[in-house]
């Protein structure tokens, strides 16, 4: 069993882990049915795989990337980062999902390989506040077009033509090259936004809502950002402690 697993995982670690988990399930069922005494699938850690940490974009990089694309596509990039939307959620948006009065976006559709449909989980249905600094940049564009209701899939398109995943991917690939971040995938905008949210001190529940996660497991990945935030808080506390000393020195000098 160990030799078989190692022969595959040497070049295809993810495939080996998937195959091992399937075989492990089959063998456990065989034990339950009394066909074998015990399972030989006991290779420690064989069924688990830890994905490499995805790169994170800075706020300045996302802003620069959005500025390089045509106006009709800027909304897609900004929503992916600042509202942490998945690609399918961005492509599934309709104009009526943007509340111009309250500055919110509602996710109730997503584009999949089968077409426009509801999010996979109830957690995927959510209404999010758009950060004001982001919202003000393109509010005028949406205001001018809000009267023209669209069909599912028209998303951020202002001319009524539904954007496609290939078109959005092309736009993003062009943008990331212009800012020198070829390592950033489109999904990394969502990852970056959730990392920024965690850095503000967002709770696990808040991150789950923001990202549309049904389980806290995924949201917990972004809590590592709170370590940087904690350091910033410690420095702020230190400045409070130093303030009286600084005032005494200034008083003595005067």
Give pLDDT tens digits for 118-176: 888 888 899 999 888 777 766 655 554 444 444 434 444 444 556 788 999 999 999 99
What pLDDT is stored for residue 50 in this prediction?
Answer: 67
Give the pLDDT band (50/70/90) at residue 225: low
Looking at per-residue pLDDT, the higher value among 236 and 7 belongs to: 7
Looking at per-residue pLDDT, the higher value among 231 and 65 belongs to: 65
pLDDT of residue 242 exceeding 90, the answer is no
Q: Which residues are catalytic?
A: 86, 187, 190, 213, 222
* Cross-strand bridge partners of residue 99: 104
Distances (CA, A) of 28 to 32, 42, 58: 6, 11, 46
* Mean pLDDT across 76-84: 92
For the chain, what is the mean pLDDT? 81
Distances (CA, A) of 27 to 35, 168, 252: 9, 44, 80
Tell the CATH superfamily of the 59-187 domain.
Intergrase catalytic core (1.10.443.10)
Give pLDDT tens digits for 86-130: 999 999 888 888 888 888 899 998 888 777 888 888 888 999 998
What pLDDT is stored for residue 245 in this prediction?
Answer: 66
Angle of CA points 52, 173, 200, to nearest 5°: 55
What pLDDT is stored for residue 28 in this prediction?
Answer: 92
- CA 80, CA 55: separation in Å to the nearest integer? 15
What pLDDT is stored for residue 227 in this prediction?
Answer: 59
- CA 241, CA 91: separation in Å to the nearest integer? 50
Looking at per-residue pLDDT, the higher value among 11 and 211 belongs to: 211
pLDDT of residue 45 exceeding 70, the answer is yes
Q: Spell out the domain ranges in the chain.
A: 1-50, 59-187
- CA 111, CA 165: separation in Å to the nearest integer? 9
What pLDDT is stored for residue 75 in this prediction?
Answer: 87
Give the pLDDT band (50/70/90) at residue 47: confident
Looking at per-residue pLDDT, the higher value among 174 and 46 belongs to: 174
Residue reference for tokens 């020195």: 249
pLDDT of residue 181 exceeding 80, the answer is yes
Look at the pTM and tell me if it is higher than 0.75.
no
What pLDDT is stored for residue 202 in this prediction?
Answer: 84
């Amino acid at each position: 069993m160990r030799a078989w697993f190692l022969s595959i995982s040497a070049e295809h670690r993810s495939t080996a882990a998937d195959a091992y988990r399937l075989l492990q399930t089959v063998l456990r069922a065989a034990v339950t049915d009394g066909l074998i005494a015990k399972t030989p699938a006991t290779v420690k850690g064989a069924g688990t795989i830890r994905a490499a940490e995805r790169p994170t974009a800075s706020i300045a990089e996302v802003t620069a990337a959005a500025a390089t694309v045509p106006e009709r596509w800027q909304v897609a990039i900004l929503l992916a980062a600042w509202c942490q939307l998945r690609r399918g959620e961005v492509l599934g948006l309709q104009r009526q999902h943007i509340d111009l009065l309250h500055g919110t976006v509602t996710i109730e559709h997503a584009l999949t390989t089968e077409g426009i449909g509801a999010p996979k989980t109830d957690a995927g249905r959510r209404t999010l506040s758009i950060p004001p600094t982001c919202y003000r940049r393109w509010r005028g564009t949406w205001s001018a077009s809000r009267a023209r209701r669209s069909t599912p899939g028209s998303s951020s398109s202002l001319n009524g033509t539904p954007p496609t995943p290939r078109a959005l991917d092309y736009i993003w690939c062009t943008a990331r090259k212009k800012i020198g971040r070829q390592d950033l995938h489109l999904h990394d905008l969502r990852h970056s936004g959730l990392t920024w949210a965690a850095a503000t001190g967002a709770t696990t529940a808040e991150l789950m809502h923001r990202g549309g996660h049904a389980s806290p497991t995924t949201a917990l990945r972004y809590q590592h950002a709170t370590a940087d935030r904690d350091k910033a808080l410690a420095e702020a506390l230190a400045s409070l402690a130093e303030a009286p000393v600084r005032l005494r020195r200034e008083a003595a000098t005067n």
